[in-house]
Amino acid sequence: MENHLSHRSKVAATPLAGVFVTLMESARSFPRHWHSTYGLGLIDRGAQRSSSGRGSVEAFAGQCMTHNPGEVHDGAPIGDTARCWRMFHIEPTAMARLQGVALPSNVEWHAPVMDDEALRSTLCLAFAASESAGTAVRKSSSTSQGMLEEALILAIGRASELTRTPQPRQPDEANLSLVIERLADDVAHAPTLDELAALSGTSRYTLVRQFGRSHGLPPMAWLMQLRLQRARDRIAAGWTLADTALSCGFSDQSHLTRLFTRQFGHTPGAWRKATEPHGSGRARTF
């Protein structure tokens, strides 16, 4: 008999309009239904069997799942244990915006289950970014929201690549240099991905992917590293933590402290103390 008590769920808005996250741990079977949103998610534990307009499929831990708006499907656990999954639900207008297309109808996924390491990794980054941005949004952190947006763009783009082969124009190194210059020119005010894509002369997805390949991180994550490095330099130069936070684009001192500590392993206050003048009047740096 199905254990009706074995069901926990959570749904939360993200800072991106029209994008929501659900977290499910359930032994329940769901009847045939459909969503008005696109779904892109990841099975974290257990497995499930489902049928849809794209046939009957099974999804196991580590595999990714998709559904299109209006696509009728159901879902049942495989075995006696609950399965656990996370899912982005993306309204069609939000999907069109993220994909940089005029009409949501131009976007369709054809694989209900995908076993792909690159997609799995980018989805994990997107879920982590949504958690971080969910905290930061209350402090109006545009950079945290931008990092979520670019992570989700990468995940959506990878899912699309698995069933089609788009050939967008690649930004050249000169155009990527323009993006670097724009990010470094005013660290306190993050540009939008649309602005950066226009500078690079390509789509947002192509920009995020190519920038990451060239510089190790996507644009907003790279900007956050630059902000933290500049904050480190200014604290060492004697700036107050409040002024440092404001000038480097953090929403407040506590926002700076949280990210600084996570990045460097010690608080800004500890760094300030370590770099206070010693004898010669010069700050000690390391």
* In the chain, where the domains are located: 7-159, 167-274
Q: What is the mean pLDDT of the chain?
A: 83
Q: Which residues contact 121 (CB under 8 A, 6 or more apart)?
A: none
Taking 90 as the threshold, does the pLDDT of residue 70 lie above it? Answer: no
Per-residue model confidence (pLDDT) at position 136: 44
User: Where residue 170 falls among pLDDT bands split at 50, 70, 90?
Assistant: low
Q: Are the CB atoms for 48 and 94 separated by under 8 Å?
A: no
Task: Give per-residue pLDDT as tens, 81-116.
Answer: 899 999 999 989 999 989 888 777 667 888 899 999
pTM of the entire structure? 0.69
Q: 278 with 286: CB under 8 angstroms? A: no
pLDDT for 132 beyond 80: no
| Between 176 and 62, the higher pLDDT residue | 62
The CATH classification number of 7-159 equals 2.60.120.10
Which of residues 169 and 12 earns the better pLDDT score?
12
Q: Report the interhelical angle of 219-236 vs 142-161 (nearest 10°).
A: 150
CB neighbour list of residue 240: distance below 8 Å, 6 or more residues apart = none
The CATH classification number of 167-274 equals 1.10.10.60
Comparing C-alpha atoms, which of 9, 16, 164 is closest to residue 87?
A: 9
Q: Which of 65-74, 111-120, 186-195 has the highest mean pLDDT?
A: 111-120
